[in-house]
Amino acid sequence: MAPTARRPSKRRAVGLLGIRQANSSDDEDYAPAGYRSPAGASRPASAAAYPPSPVADEDVPLAQRRRQLHAQQQQQQQQQPKPAAAAGSGSGGTPPARTPGLPDEVLCLILRKACDPANGGAIPTAAAATCVCRAWRAAALSSPNLWQHVDLTWPRCRPTDAALARITPRWSGLCSLKLAPGAAGTGGMSGASLQLVAARCPVLTSLSLAHCSQFGEAALCAALTEMLLRPAAADRSSAPLTHLDLSFSEIAPKVSGLDTVVRTVLAQQARNGSGPVLQELLVEGCPVLSHRGLRAVTEASVEQGTPLLAALQVLDLSQSASAKPGFVINLERLQYSAPGLRQLRLNSLCGAYGWSTNPTPSRLPRDAPPPGFCHLRVCQVAAKPRQSMSGLGTIGSYVTDACLIRLLAHASQLEELDVSCCDRLSPDSLATSIHPEAPLKHALLARSGWCCDEAVEFLVDRFGASLEAVDLGWGASRITDAAAAALARCPRLHSVGLEGTAVSSEGVRQLLQAADMHAAEAACSAGGSSSNSSGSGRPVFTVDVGSCRGLERGVRQAAMLGMDQLREALIS
């Protein structure tokens, strides 16, 4: 029996860019030698575009068939008559003139808008513009203003020492740089990259090394010292480093590298010719950090009789120094060294061990002003919750009434206070700890000694006109409907945390009705007509009532679905 001819496959072959490959063994119009299509079979429309090949019934290689078809197409094009020249065109068939591109000034302005920090900076826009055409490449590389803000943590960005060596000559106008995290010896950036940035970026003022672990102590100290000691030129051709982020970073050697860098930074920034320059220092989430660097600069300030951290406005040590206990902060010396501090973030500092302060106020120079953070606006001293041996209460917080009085007694501009899990506070100290004229907006009191009805009522009586967010979570039986009734008197309140408290459905209903009333009053004063929203920029009111056993079952189920369902269950 003669072998049956193989029928062609119905699968279409797809080539580069999704173009269908024709005249191959996988196409419907190809029939091998000895095979005839059945009667009545429809011929593909694509086959009518080509004349019948003289070798259609021969088994020839695919490359030879392609050459033959290409020759046939060229022959057909030569036989076709050429179209008449358009009116007004030259007799020589001169091609039409190309449309002129955008002027360089307009193109640079568009790219500058696209590379705005609000849009992510120069990466990836400026880098992609260099691959569009010659005009775009010239505009992107010749305009230093495009490279003012560079974020190398973009997912598809893989910076190396060689790549930075090529691009840093274009970064003469770089102001803010965020380096990508990496490990040492992985072929990415190293200390040489930091040296190039320090030498070729004279106006760099903000540097982020968050989550980086590829730099060593010596190279990092040398590069940061060069950046911190740069003079501040009047024509803005040179500027020192003012913002440094070392959060979640590891510096070799792991035990002492970070301490050495922090101590070097705090000491060198005060040696600048124009005085202390560092305005923001973020060292969040570094478990091996110790208090040696901060203590050294505060002691040096007292010995020299001059604040060595006079420019410091933001200090963030949250979630650091958790590897070992013994982190001590001398409050009076810190206040003397950094009199302009505006944000102090010490949440979960020293982990479960807790940080402590000097028991008695330290001696200061005779001409020193009274201790106190007069410009402090944000104070976060929340402790890390941890169950005690008996399973009750939390430990790990050394924040007491006396500590808060020394911290906040002169903070007349305080707007945010976080004392969550500070269980050593007494409600009576609230009257003496916070400055009576402070415009307090955010009060986070969850699981603290101030998380009770009496403290909330006093807080509303004194700061109710400015309060916007209050967290009373896990106050248990100490937070009842009395606290909800007090919070209902706050006209600007838009966020309340009542998780794990003893409030009832009536207390939550009173809060929602008061929020609607305050929103309507704000809308009327702004000329609008919206309710519970802000046509004038007022946030939507939210309340967290999770794990509140005093609520009815239907109310708890509605709260799990969202604020709209909770409002319908209590008010409708």
pLDDT at residue 48, rounded to an integer: 46
pLDDT for 158 equals: 83
The pTM score is 0.81
Which range marks the domain in which residue 558 is found? 467-572
Long-range contacts of 254-257 (CB under 8 A, 24+ apart): 254/288, 255/288, 256/217, 257/216, 257/217
pLDDT at 86: 44
What is the pLDDT confidence band of residue 240, given thresholds at 50, 70 and 90? very high
Token couple for 16: 């580069």
pLDDT tens-digit series, residues 267-319 = 999 999 999 999 999 999 999 999 999 999 999 999 999 999 999 999 999 99
Neighbours of 268 (CB within 10 A): 19
CA dist 358 and 77 (Å) reads 94
For residue 513 the two structure tokens come to 């009705």
pLDDT in the model for residue 327:
94
pLDDT in tens, 305-316: 999 999 999 999
Amino acid of residue 356: S
Q: Which of 135-149, 335-349, 484-498 has the lowest mean pLDDT?
A: 135-149
Instruction: Tell me what the mean pLDDT of segment 128-150 comes to.
Output: 88
Q: At what angle do helices 104-114 and 134-142 cross, to 10 degrees?
A: 70
Q: Is residue 474 situated within a structural domain?
A: yes
What is the Cα–Cα distance from 159 to 193, expressed in whole angstroms? 10
Q: Does any domain span residue 504?
A: yes
Residue with tokens 């009327």: 524
d(CA 289, CA 369): 30
The rounded Cα 534 to chain-centroid distance in angstroms is 26
Instruction: Retrieve residue 2's tokens.
Output: 């003669």
536-553 residue pLDDT tens: 578 999 999 999 999 999
pLDDT over 90, % of the chain: 62
The pLDDT of residue 470: 98
pLDDT at 247: 97
Task: Let me know if residue 491 belongs to a domain.
Answer: yes
pLDDT above 50 (res 188): yes
Burial 11-35 (b: 16+ CB within 10 A, else e): eeeeeeeeeeebbbeebbbbbeeee
Is 539 inside any structural domain? yes
For residues 387-412, one letter each, b for 16 or more C-beta atoms within 10 angstroms of the residue's C-beta and e for the rest, the string is: eeeeeeebbbbbbbbebbebbbbbbb
Where residue 185 falls among pLDDT bands split at 50, 70, 90?
low
d(C-alpha 562, C-alpha 135), whole Å: 52
* Nearby residues of 329 by Cβ (< 8 Å), 6 or more positions away: 291, 294, 346, 355, 356, 357, 358
pLDDT for 88: 44
Q: Which residue's entry shows tokens 């300030």? A: 301
Q: How many CB atoms lie within 10 A of CB 208?
A: 20
pLDDT tens-digit readout, 421-465: 999 999 999 999 999 999 999 999 999 999 999 999 999 999 999
Average pLDDT over residues 324-349: 95
**Using omega within 30 degrees of 0 as the cis cutoff, is the peptide bond preceding 3 cis?**
no
Predicted confidence (pLDDT) at residue 12 exceeds the cutoff of 70: no
pLDDT digit string (tens) for 118-127? Answer: 888 999 899 8
Per-residue model confidence (pLDDT) at position 512 = 97
Closest by alpha carbon to 294, among 250, 328, 319?
328
């005093």: which residue's tokens?
A: 550
Confidence band of 487 (pLDDT split at 50, 70, 90): very high
Decide if 303 contacts 364 (C-beta within 8 A).
no
Round the average pLDDT of the chain to a whole number and report it.
85
Over 50: is that where the pLDDT of 143 sits? yes
For 471-481, how does the pLDDT look when each residue is reduced to its tens digit (9 = 90+)? 999 999 999 99
Residue 480 lies in a domain: yes
Q: How far is CA 320 from the centre of its chain?
A: 19
In-domain check, residue 376: no
Residue 53 CA to residue 70 CA, distance in Å, equals 12
Predicted pLDDT of residue 94: 57
Q: Cβ–Cβ contacts within 10 Å for residue 267, how many?
A: 16
The residue ranking higher by pLDDT, 342 or 52, is 342
pLDDT of 6 over the 60 cut: no
> Could you tell me if residue 522 is inside a domain?
yes
- Whether cis (ω within 30° of 0) applies to the bond prior to 124 is yes
Question: Which stretches of 349-407 are assigned E, i.e. beta strand?
Answer: 356-357, 378-380
Mean pLDDT of 360-375: 87
Positive or negative torsion for Cα 202, 205, 208, 213: positive
Residue written as token pair 């065109």: 89
CA torsion angle 421 425 428 430 (round to 10): -60
Q: How confident is the model at residue 23 (pLDDT cuts 50, 70, 90)?
A: very low
Q: Residue 94 corresponds to which amino acid? A: T
What is the per-residue pLDDT across 67-118, written as a single tens digit (0 to 9) for each? 888 888 888 888 876 655 444 444 445 555 554 678 888 898 999 999 998 8
Total number of domains in the chain: 1
